Every structure is written in C-alpha cells, then in structure tokens.
Amino acid sequence: MTVLVVSGTGTEVGKTVATAAVAAVAVADGRSVAVLKPAQTGLAPGERGDAEEAVRLSGAAAWHELARYPEPLAPATAARRAGLPPVRPADVAETAEKLAAEYDLVLVEGAGGLLVRLDDDGGTLADVAGLLSARVLVVAPAGLGTLNATELTARELGRRGLAPAGVLVGAWPARPDLAARCNVTDLPTVTGVPLVGAVPEGAGGWPPAAFRAGATKWLAPELGGTWRVGALTGTDE
C-alpha cells in the first residue's frame, strides 16, 4: 500500500498544487493515482474542490471527498455549524486503504495544518497518518515566518513517530525576496527534513499540459523529479 499524506504548515500555502505536482510526476511515471480530500470546506455542492482540481491539473485517475461543508472553517467547526457528521480519522484511513488496493498511489490532502481538528474528539490529519503508517509531505510557504511554522510541524511529526517525506515550498515567487532566498537554505537546517522541491507561484492557473510538463522540474528525485535546491539559490552549475 502506497499512501502519502500532504499537510500544510497552515492554510493557503499551496497544498493542492503540491498534491497535483506529486500526482503529475507519478502519472508520468506510469502509475495510477487517486487523490483523497477527507473534508472540503468553504464550497457549495457542485463547485470544484481541491481533490478534483488536483486531478484536473495532474491527469490523475480519480478524486474522492468524504465530506463537504459550506463554511470556510476548520472541518470540526464547519461540520458542527452545518449540523453534519464530522469526518473521523478512522474513516479517512479506511477509505485510503480501499483506494490503495485499487491505485498505485493515494494522496491524502489535509485541510490547513497537521493538527487542524477533523472532529470534536480531537482527531487530526496526524492521526490519519499514524493509522496508515504513511509518510507526510509538509507544504510550506516561502517567505518570512515559515521557519517557525515548519519546524513546529516537523517536531510534531517526530514526537508522534511519523516519517516526513520532505518539505515542499508550495508557491515560489518569481521574484523571491531576501527572506525566501535565505529560507530555502535554512529550512532543512531548522527542521532536520530535506527540502524536496518548490512549485512556482501561480502554477495552479497554468493549463494542465503545461503544469504536467513542469512538475518533474519542481520536485526533487526523492519525489520522482529532477529539481535541485541550486535551481532556487542560483548555485547550480
């Protein structure tokens, strides 16, 4: 069973495009891929959700949601306010295992950060990863403040005995400022987790064909691509 959990260090850090990039590289390698979004918040029925968007960009085979809540809140809060059942970690793990029996790779995209509550019993994406014994890809922003949030996430993974798949910058700016340029060097040092790629800012708006062609250049060999940190720091020969 191959399941990869994709977590952000917070909201709006590029988890969906990161998930799509990993999926695109796997598809290009001939693997069948499913994307699972346990809880989609802030969208009405019929609107394209994160998992569907990841499939559109990547060409993955299938997407699944377990629940959708209309308000853009943490899943536990959104479920409570909507009067709908919450998503529980055991349900997510069970669905991921079933998908893994059918597809070569299952990507589980979280909502917000690692410890955002899925239910009022305190269930989180970290619990899902633990039930699945799955590695966790941490998606982080490029700019000021990312070192603290990413280190805290890495520490929590370590405390729980969960294996990180790496840190991926979810939106690398076309004109990175000083903080961003320093952060790509400092992130592996403060987290103890390798930097495994960077998705260009705005890539989610690219045509799918261009997105898929670019994906292998954004991910390091650990994730099936060819990217190197020197591509961001300007030290590649």
Whether 205 and 199 have beta carbons less than 8 Å apart is answered as no
- Taking residue 132's Cβ as centre, other Cβ atoms within 10 Å add up to 22
Name residues whose C-beta falls within 8 Å of residue 73's C-beta, 6 or more positions apart in sequence: 41, 42, 81
15, 37, 98, 217: the catalytic one is: 37
**Catalytic (active site) residue 37:** yes
Full DSSP string of 38-96:
EEEES--TTS--HHHHHHHHH--SEEEEEEEESSSS-HHHHHHHHT-PPP-HHHHHHHH
DSSP state of 103: S
Dihedral (CA of 81, 4, 152, 147) sign: negative
Whether 59 and 75 have beta carbons less than 8 Å apart is answered as no
Among all residues, which ones are annotated catalytic? 37
